[in-house]
Amino acid sequence: MKRVAVLGSTGSIGTSTLEVIASHPDKLQLVGVAARSRADILVRQLDQFRPKLVAMWEEEKARELQRLTGRRPILVGMEGLIQLATHPDVDIVVVATSGRDALIPLVQAIQAGKQIALASKELLVMAGELIMRLAREHGVSLVPIDSEHAALFQCLQGIPKDRVSRLVITGSGGPFWGVPPSQRHAATRAQVLSHPKWQMGPKITVDSATLMNKGLEVIEARWLFDVPVERIQIVIHPEAVVHGLIELVDGSVLAQMSPCDMRLPIQYALSFPERWESRLPRLSLTQLSALHFLAPDLEQFPCLRLALDAAAAAGSACVVLNGANDAAVQGYLQDEVPFAEIPRVIAETLEQHTPILHPTLDEVLAVDAWSRTVAETLLRKPSCHVV
């Protein structure tokens, strides 16, 4: 029996993770859950799974949860997340929080020797070099949940690293692929938030509409698989059937295909190194339409270019990219900035930064905080409000 703690249990990946756990009661046990503020969903999860450990990021929400359930203790804030992620009763930590809050809990979970299933790509974008070095030092397996990286991870099993010539990450192109700029700039919130293939949380859905998500995924893959950025290719694949491909030195290409359902990569990350049966939807090859693969358009999607430039620069540029993007997307979601201004806020923040090549954890956190402050100031600049 593997004992699982889920950081971010009420989000999109978190709730899917709990479904996977419920479908394997003989193999998986939920021993801990942590959420930011959704006490209502957490009440139902506690009722269904009765985990031993509960953590809530916001103190007021922790008190509300206590009122609703009579449960105590409820772990609170950063200290609570760390206690949950390093608890002796936990074998696997699923990191599925949005944003950066789980960075220190992740680092400490690795240092405590926990197996990691990682959905939060931002943490690898910010501190991938450091996280992967720690994972190697502590002999910890870190399995990605992000669908493209889960695909690459599966294709790479049993392949010596020096036999791989290229990694290919696919992306559906989001809601605005092939849409003229004028229509894209006038898009409503509903259009930005309606992804053609995946049901996800609001932050990653906006990142998918700007294609920043693919850029973040290149940086994520660079650290996860220790492959230089120039050997990672992005391909737009609107049907979203092939999630990732690897090309070997002899020219052979291996791909992973499956329906768009995050429960598959989640289950694989939890079962690794085994592979378990599932009742998930199957791919019907004879019902597939034609599959298309297209080069991404960096002119139409400036966020992708910014991400690839930061990826090439590496170091703290990626921290700034991530922090400024997060601030700009939150600004957009709160109506502080139009959709078309997101790349400008990120670009101007990057311009003000003096890069550090191999930042320490403290430097990562400091640069992250700095980039958010700068980006938030830029969001309020009147020039940003001109569409």
Contacts of 31 (CB under 8 A, 6+ apart): 3, 4, 5, 51, 52, 53, 87, 89, 90
Q: Do residues 73 and 59 lie in contact, with contact meaning Cβ atoms separated by under 8 Å?
A: no
Helix axes 103-111, 361-380, angle to 10 degrees: 170
Under 8 Å CB-to-CB from 308, ≥6 apart: which residues? 215, 218, 229, 298
Q: Choose between 8 and 80: whose C-beta lies nearer to Mg ion.
A: 8
Gap between the Cα atoms of 126 and 322, Å rounded: 7
Beta carbon of residue 218, minimum distance to Mg ion (angstroms, whole number): 11
Where in 178-257 does DSSP place strands (E)? 232-236, 242-248, 253-257
Q: Minimum distance from CB of 201 to Mg ion (Å)?
A: 12
The minimum distance between CB 37 and Mg ion, in angstroms, equals: 25
Choice between 147 and 316, CB closer to Mg ion: 147
Q: Kind of pairing, strands 142-144 and 164-171?
A: unpaired
Distance of closest approach, residue 147 Cβ to Mg ion, in angstroms: 5
CB closer to Mg ion, 20 vs 81? 20
Nearer to Mg ion, 83 or 147 (CB): 147
Which 145-164 residues touch Mg ion, going by CB under 5 A? 146-148
Cα distance between residue 141 and residue 58, in whole Å? 30
Q: Interhelix angle for 212-224 vs 316-333, to 10°?
A: 150
Please give the residues from 351 up to 380 whose contact with Mg ion meets the rule CB under 5 A.
none
Classified as helix, coil or strand, 367 is: helix
Q: How far is the CB of 193 from Mg ion (least distance, A)?
A: 17
Contact between residue 190 and residue 282 where contact means Cβ atoms under 8 Å apart: no
As measured in angstroms, the least distance from the Cβ of 81 to Mg ion is 23
Nearest to 163 by CA among 87, 227, 77: 227
Taking the complex as a whole, the smallest distance from the CB of residue 146 to Mg ion amounts, in Å, to: 4
Q: Which residue is nearest to Mg ion (CB)?
A: 146
CB of 220 to Mg ion, least distance (A): 8
> Which CB sits closer to Mg ion, 203 or 372?
203
Binding-site string for Mg ion from residue 127 to residue 146, where x marks contact by CB under 5 A and - marks none: -------------------x
Residue type, 213: N
Number of amino acids touching Mg ion (CB under 5 A): 3
Pick the closer one to Mg ion by CB: 146 or 368.
Answer: 146
Q: Which is nearer to Mg ion, 115 or 147 (CB)?
A: 147
106, 138 contact by CB (below 8 A):
no
Q: Which is nearer to Mg ion, 45 or 147 (CB)?
A: 147
Strands 115-118, 53-56: pairing is unpaired
Under rule CB under 5 A, residue 207 binds Mg ion: no
Binding mask 87-126 for Mg ion (x = CB under 5 A): ----------------------------------------
Residue with Cβ nearer Mg ion (51 or 174): 174
Least distance from Mg ion to the Cβ atom of residue 222, Å: 15
> By CB neighbour count within 10 A (0-12 exposed, 13-18 middle, 19+ buried), where does 344 fall?
middle
- Closer to Mg ion at the Cβ: 77 or 196? 196
Q: Which contacts qualify for 175-182: CB closer than 8 Å, 24 or more apart?
A: 175/208, 175/209, 176/209, 177/236, 177/238, 181/300
Q: Which of residues 5-34 bind Mg ion (CB under 5 A)?
A: none
**Interface characters, 42-81, with Mg ion (x: CB under 5 A):** ----------------------------------------
Q: CB of residue 197 vs Mg ion: minimum separation in angstroms?
A: 11
Cα–Cα nearest to 203, from 325, 344, 296: 325
Residues that bind Mg ion (CB under 5 A): 146-148
